Structure 1
């Protein structure tokens, strides 16, 4: 319904180029471009109806960019008679829900429900039911939540929308889980899992299998739980790969635009030089003084252009050096991983033929370790490259440190169990830090992954905070593993953006993860230090700024 109405409006206002572009970018989900062209249209707009659609575009764009206050402001600039008010009120309610103003959010969700019924917008009506039910969960009014979530499920089943039906089952399961009605919760978790098999969205498949893993763990069925958890990790890997493909496509698009803008700039400079030459010839009749001034101007332009070209060459050389370094790491480390995987698979084939099942299990675990190492290297390379080219988005916010450490521990639980490593999380539950959440998770994943990799079996890993009177929180990741000498520590902490090998031992790796952690900590206004001795373990000390009210 939304696409149909917007298409009609683009035809109706086809002379308004900025509006047509804003509408096109909105349908493509290019939120930044939508914001730019909708603002351009608003700056010259005299038509009230057209202005309302621009505010609608901006409100939706801010919502999907997680700027909820700005989204609310834009939506409130539209009237109650706006043609897409049912959708507008739903997104407005969702924005307010993010601010924890539950009663206000409920008001807009119910308004969206009434308008959806009036306009027969079934898709928006299902969203409204879901929004109302979710809000009632937050308000602890579980009977009302159940009523609307069941309506949501019935409508999705009626329209045979598998994606939305999968989400409906999951929402109902969470509702009953919140009330400790485990039988009903498990029933709907299973329904969600079965339905997820028919959907294409990797995130729904991941969440459904992850929920089943938790269900089986709670029932002490660890073998089944492990199967579901591995499936969840498989879908997470697929989702990561999909995101990387999208990120690469977006980078290529930006590169193409930059190249086009560069060509335009060159043409402008060429036209400017031609204009200068024509002016010089024209004013030459005025005498030697005019000719001298024109010559000085042309010379200044050439010097300026030469400086620009020289600076571009220096930057290009730096980028080429970085590219060569990346190729060197990829060719060396991935070749080593692939070769190890190849040899291991050969042994695996021989074990299958000889039915040596004890060695077969060992080789399978070895293959898993090699594959995980190669994946971690590729993931770190992507983030490091984005960081070097300033493509990584940072948004700082207040973060509860204990909860994030707990999440990271949960992700690595299977690896800790495999090596029989004791894990201890004694991070203070009162600590809040002001950082970018995504980059913090990358740092903690790398540090915990290293701690597991360099720990002996039956070792111990501890994560704790050190109380200080400063505005910084000190988080320590301590292991009882291999440790490192002072030369290795000095190389890792050297103030350089270049990558460096940490030694000849194959287990040591590239040092890329530590370099990435160090640069991301610096980007968040913090620092990373290392304390270690050979064969006595390692302490990775991460210092990050506290949230003001916690400082």
Structure 2
């Protein structure tokens, strides 16, 4: 015998040594073991190493349910470790084991934890997990908080789900547990005893070839006994014999070592023998159940109450009135304890309900006060929001008015400046026109035609200057109104200058000036209007300040990824003040007001347009009175 036990231990140790290294992903990875002591030692051995300790502990606790009185000992420890390790399967198994622990004691706790376990198993498509969780949910669904109709629908829906797995699952353990659910609860959804017994026969065939699942046998046979009891086909006496046989098989297939679950099997066996009128055997098993109850020191009177009641009834029928009286006295004593317990429980429940009601009234009162406070707070917040909105609107309008006033002031200043320019810059050329018209009249009257030709040329120069000034005034007004819309286009330099230079050659001839150009034939991308404006104003400026008979030089070329336009002239008509202001304007970033004395409107204008188009203009004036403007455009 010792040799056999040693072999069993070595076999179990070898199996679990392999299991220690495997990963636990589904319920099927846990295997029920009857050798609790050996399994306990292995779990304790793995505790220090912590590898798979949680899942081995779950394995041990689940095995205890079938083979030990210590079931429930480590359920809370499992939860603690699962939460610490953030192991979702371990947490789901905790819910399942807690539901199993409360299956006969507290249906509500069983139902709630069974649901939690089922949610995880369903999310991870764990068929075995869903089957075992559903079994507990269905079995505990009759607690009073669930109405009869809802209970029936809940049971029906879950049994239907369970049956769906049966047809396409090959796993034997899952099939046996589905059959167990159908035998235990099939009648809830109008499954006939005959239909249930078909499942029972299938279970017997499966168990014959798979002894490792014998721990399921007691439940299978108990469910079959219930089906035979409700079976209407055949003789009643024959069906009762089958009931008794099923209860006997359930008892015989249970562990030889008695534990708490044995009590229900012995009670069922006593009932079974009573059905076939073998009262001595019935009394024997009732007494055996009482003996185990006392031996295990189980302090649950509700488990033994029915034993004494049924035993007293048998002893009374056998006319053993003394023993019947003793059994009945014990039953009444237990019933008194139970009634007393129920009374205390009812009183406690009533007290709890009263206290709960008082708390609810207090909470309701506090909620009403809170609602009142919240309502007042909402009114205050609403008023604050309205006040803030009014302040914001007023502030916005004030800013808008200030902005409008600023723009209006700028427009007024621009208008005044425009009138100043018109009165200042246009006065001189207009006066020149007036004087020249008088001179022309005088020369015509005195027939001095040679001088008339010279005066007419001067009138042309005045006209061209006046046209340039008017054009600059128009461009300045566009800048002031912020209506500049840049449109960069591809420009062929030779074509561009061939369109501009002829006009300025004619203007230069009036002052006997010569324009020389060195234009490289390249393509650049920039705004044509801006480039034209800059070129025209720089040429106007060059013609204006070049001494008579001198040259104006124009060069356009590509230098290190930049287009450079150079316009240079020689003349001594610019004052030191003008040179200083132009240098500050282009080289030092200084800004002058449009129309400021000492600096031309054209130069201020091209500085503004160059800035908007990212164009750089560099000014240089030498002691030899050589003036050079460089226009640099990035290509």
Q: State TM-score, norm by structure 2.
A: 0.38
Higher-RCO chain (CA-CA 8 Å, sequence separation at least 6) = 1
Return the index of the structure with the highest Cα Rg: 2
